[in-house]
């Protein structure tokens, strides 16, 4: 099956403007637990203007939430119920690249805000003479230091696309496999296919600030983003506190089957959940964001 998918790609490159590269991303979010390894299916959607790298499950979960909210707003509902899919993706961040300048943007949410962060660093690759075969691809080794980790990549010149998963690009071909030297993060190409144009849309909430929904990201520099990241780590419920301070704003959450609506209790549980999540997610892909 892999061979068919790979061989099909060469015909697609000639005729298709939109191509999806599918990667299996294995990562260990908690460095203190050897059994914390997780797997996420990631898409790298490529067209003539650039690429977008994102989680399959997160995209599907966001789409379900958006459709539910649209229906509620169209029906004239006075209150909006938002239910996050328990099977939603672990990876929320996305990466966009533009061609031919290969500018790199991180799309990241912090609390109730989203940011589009222009990356001012690019991987500087050292290409090795080492070569081998991965599935039907002849690949060559390259290494780089990026964002606090040492990375090993295998790329193929059989596919004339100088791109790859996450923020990795700039090699003379498509990245087939890339992993950090600790084995904590590994992205491996699993398939390639032709697709129709995909569009993740931001919808009009008619002035309502609805928690857990996709927001249009604010364009910021990496320095500005790091400032916001620090603020979030110090106070992860600041955005929710601002929402609850608005007139006639109410938020209900479900904790182990119990519905909680008291603002102080909502904030307390949400802050505990956010801090627990940060504690468990101590082995991020970027040790130096």
pLDDT in tens, 80-122: 555 544 446 789 999 999 999 999 999 999 988 899 999 999 9
Residue 266 domain-assigned (yes or no): no
Residue 175 domain-assigned (yes or no): yes
Instruction: State how many domains the chain has.
Output: 1
- Where do the DSSP E strands lie in the chain? 19-27, 38-47, 50-55, 94-98, 104-110, 113-118, 126-134, 137-146, 149-156, 174-180, 185-194, 218-221, 253-255, 258-260
Residue 18 domain-assigned (yes or no): yes
Residue 217 domain-assigned (yes or no): yes
Residue 138 has a CB neighbour count (10 Å cut-off) of 14
Domain region containing 160: 2-234
The model's pTM: 0.82
- Which of 96-105, 146-155, 220-229, 251-260 is predicted least confidently? 251-260
Residue 177 domain-assigned (yes or no): yes
Residue 147 domain-assigned (yes or no): yes
pLDDT digits (tens, 9 = 90+) for 150-171: 999 999 999 989 999 999 999 9
Residue 245 domain-assigned (yes or no): no
Residue 34 domain-assigned (yes or no): yes
């Amino acid at each position: 099956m892999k061979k068919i998918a790979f061989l099909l790609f060469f015909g697609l490159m000639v005729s298709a403007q939109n191509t999806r590269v599918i990667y299996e991303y294995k990562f260990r979010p908690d460095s203190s637990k050897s059994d914390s390894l997780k797997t996420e299916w990631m898409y790298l959607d490529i067209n003539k203007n650039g690429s977008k790298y994102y989680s399959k499950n997160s995209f599907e979960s966001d789409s379900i939430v958006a459709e539910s909210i649209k229906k509620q707003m169209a029906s004239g509902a006075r209150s909006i119920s938002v239910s996050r899919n328990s099977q939603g993706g672990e990876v929320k961040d996305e990466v966009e690249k533009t061609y031919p300048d290969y500018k790199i943007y991180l799309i990241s949410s912090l609390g109730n805000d989203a940011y589009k962060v222009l990356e001012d660093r690019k991987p500087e690759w050292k290409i090795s003479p080492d070569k081998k075969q991965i599935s039907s691809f002849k690949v060559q080794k390259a290494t780089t230091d990026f964002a606090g980790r040492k990375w090993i990549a295998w790329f193929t010149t059989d596919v004339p696309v100088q791109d790859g998963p996450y923020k990795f690009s700039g090699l003379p071909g498509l990245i087939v496999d890339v992993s950090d030297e600790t084995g904590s993060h590994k992205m491996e190409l699993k398939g390639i296919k032709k697709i129709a144009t995909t569009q993740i849309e931001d919808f009009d909430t008619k002035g309502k600030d609805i928690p857990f929904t996709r927001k249009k990201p604010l364009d910021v520099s990496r320095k500005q983003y790091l400032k916001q990241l620090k603020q979030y780590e110090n106070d992860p419920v600041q955005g929710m506190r601002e929402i609850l301070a608005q007139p006639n704003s109410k938020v209900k959450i479900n904790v182990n089957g119990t519905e909680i609506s008291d603002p102080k209790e909502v904030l307390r549980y949400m802050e505990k959940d956010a801090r627990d999540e940060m504690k468990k997610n101590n082995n991020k892909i970027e040790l130096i964001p």
